[in-house]
Amino acid sequence: QVQLQESGPGLVKPSQTLSLTCDVSGASITTLYYYWSWIRQPPGKGLEWMGHITYRGFTYYADSVKGRFTISRDNAKNTVYLQMNSLKPEDTAVYYCAAASKYTNRKDDYNYWGQGTQVTVSS
């Protein structure tokens, strides 16, 4: 059974940097044809795909966060990371780690989800 567990600081100030961790168990993050995504849900809004890292280690980002957010991984730890720079209050959201067996940004295509972690950007 594949399980994903997000973790990270919950509160940061505007312009600061924050990193989230997604610990994966039950499958390797290098498993062929799996894509490991970060998705967020701002308060009162729908899910927003931010980007993913492929089984080969390639990364792709939504235009809204490109250049500001970075997804990386540590194969030895079986962990995926999300680094967010220059944070803004509108980045406040619940952040989810999710896995899909194909290239997608549609929530219905994801096979596995973490429970989510709250990030609040406020002075």
25-74 pLDDT, tens digit each: 999 999 888 999 999 999 999 999 999 999 999 999 999 999 999 999 99
Long-range contacts of 26-32 (CB under 8 A, 24+ apart): 26/1, 26/2, 27/2, 27/99, 28/75, 28/78, 29/53, 29/55, 29/73, 29/75, 29/78, 29/79, 29/80, 30/55, 30/75, 31/55
60-99 pLDDT, tens digit each: 999 999 999 999 999 999 999 999 999 999 999 999 999 9
